[in-house]
Structures are given as structure tokens and as C-alpha cells.
């Protein structure tokens, strides 16, 4: 399913007027302000990435993406820079991060015909440890157990490099040594 931002839709149809005519005829659908699709049933996660190019999947959404959790998140968990506008949608949980933390471990993934950003496996483990007390007990240990099972796929030198950027470096490294390795 192809999603277009407003500037992309205007470029495709030549003008705002022509875009509005295409919406009336049903050749393109306005999903939300600034987001257009050729199919009326647009994927909400993809639509978020068209509208907000600065979001990154984190926590439960990243765990589910990386297959370290089989809990389907009840909301889409996204990280944004601290100065970003709030995303006011009931199904989105937004975490505001300082630039030092936000940029660490972002990977871009091509999915269908759009690109999403998600924290890589190592950064996702750091997020799990950082937010341990804010997660349900059983979910935390379920995801931690799954990280342990895929430890051979992780780059521990990259994880250590990432961890050095966080105030909770000691806690992160101790948890990795005691629970993952």
C-alpha cells in the first residue's frame, strides 16, 4: 500500500486543486491531514511514519518488531526528540528523549513501499533495562528471556558503546552480564 505525504501527493497530481479532484473521484484517499493513500485501509504504523518522519519504534513496538516479544502492543510506542510536538492519538505512546539518547541505535527498515525507523536489537535491550520498573513484571522477564535466547545475534561491543552514553551505564552492563550472557 502506497502512502504519500501532502507534498508528494501534490507533486503526483500537479496541484492542490487536482489532488482535491482526485479525492472526490476516489482515485486517492485522504487518510488524515497530510497523509494520502491509494487504498482506504491504510496501515496506521506506516501512516505515522509518513506524517512524522522523526519517530522511532521503541519498547513494546520494537520488541514485537524484533520478535523478542509475542505480546502485541496495545499502542504504538514511539520515541521522538524532546522538542517534538506531542502526537495526540489514543493508540500512540510517545517518549520524549534528549538528542544524546534519541539518536543512539536507530535503524531504517524498508517495509512494503515505505521506510520505518526502529531501534536496533542492542538499543532495544538497553530500553528494556532502562524502563524495567515501568513495565509489567511478567512482560519484562518474558522479553529478557527472549533476549537471552538470541544473545548470539547481538553485538555486545556495540551494546557497550551505546550503554556508555546513558546515565544508567552500570545498571545496563550489570543486567547484561547477569541476565543475558
- Global pTM reads 0.78
36 and 62 inside one domain = no
How do the pLDDT tens digits run along the chain, 181 residues long? Answer: 577 778 888 888 899 888 888 888 888 888 777 777 777 666 677 778 878 889 999 999 999 999 999 888 889 999 999 999 999 888 899 999 999 899 999 999 887 667 889 999 999 999 999 999 998 899 999 999 999 999 999 999 999 999 999 999 999 999 999 988 7
Predicted confidence at residue 24, as pLDDT, reads 82
| Contact in structure between 106 and 79 (CB atoms under 8 Å) | no
Predicted confidence at residue 1, as pLDDT, reads 53
Predicted confidence at residue 40, as pLDDT, reads 67
Beta-sheet strand order (sheet of 76-81): 92-97, 76-81, 56-57, 114-119, 106-111
74 and 100 inside one domain = yes
The CA distance from 77 to 55, in Å, is: 9
The CA distance from 96 to 81, in Å, is: 6
Could you give the angle at the alpha carbon of 78 between the alpha carbons of 74 and 81, nearest 5°? Answer: 155
- Distances in Å between the alpha carbon of 120 and those of 8, 66, 80, 92, 113? 29, 8, 15, 20, 20
State the DSSP H helix or E strand holding residue 35, giving kind and residue range, or none if neither.
strand 35-37
Domain count, the chain: 2
Predicted confidence at residue 41, as pLDDT, reads 66
* Neighbouring-strand partners of residue 37: 3, 29
Predicted confidence at residue 47, as pLDDT, reads 76
* Helices assigned H by DSSP within the chain: 6-13, 16-25, 44-51, 59-65, 99-102, 121-130, 137-149, 156-163, 169-175
28 and 63 inside one domain = no
Structural domain for 86, as ranges: 47-180
146 and 105 inside one domain = yes
Pairing state of beta strands 56-57 and 92-97? Answer: unpaired
73 and 129 inside one domain = yes
Amino acid at each position: 500500500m502506497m502512502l504519500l505525504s501532502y507534498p508528494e501527493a501534490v507533486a503526483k497530481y500537479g496541484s492542490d486543486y487536482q489532488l482535491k479532484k482526485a479525492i472526490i473521484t476516489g482515485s486517492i484517499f485522504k487518510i488524515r491531514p497530510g497523509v494520502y493513500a491509494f487504498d482506504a485501509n491504510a496501515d496506521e504504523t506506516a501512516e505515522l511514519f509518513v506524517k512524522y518522519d522523526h519517530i522511532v519504534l521503541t519498547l513494546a513496538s520494537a520488541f514485537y518488531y524484533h520478535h523478542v516479544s509475542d505480546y502485541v502492543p496495545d499502542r504504538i510506542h514511539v520515541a521522538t526528540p524532546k522538542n517534538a510536538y506531542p502526537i495526540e492519538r489514543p493508540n500512540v505512546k510517545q517518549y520524549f528523549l534528549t538528542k544524546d539518547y534519541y539518536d543512539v541505535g536507530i535503524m531504517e527498515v524498508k517495509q512494503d513501499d515505505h521506510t520505518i525507523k526502529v531501534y536496533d536489537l542492542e538499543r532495544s535491550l538497553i530500553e528494556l533495562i532502562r524502563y524495567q520498573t515501568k513495565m509489567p513484571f511478567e512482560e519484562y522477564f518474558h522479553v529478557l528471556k527472549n533476549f537471552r535466547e538470541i544473545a548470539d545475534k547481538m553485538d555486545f561491543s556495540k551494546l557497550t558503546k551505546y550503554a556508555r552514553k546513558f546515565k544508567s551505564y552500570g545498571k545496563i552492563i550489570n543486567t547484561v552480564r547477569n541476565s543475558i550472557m
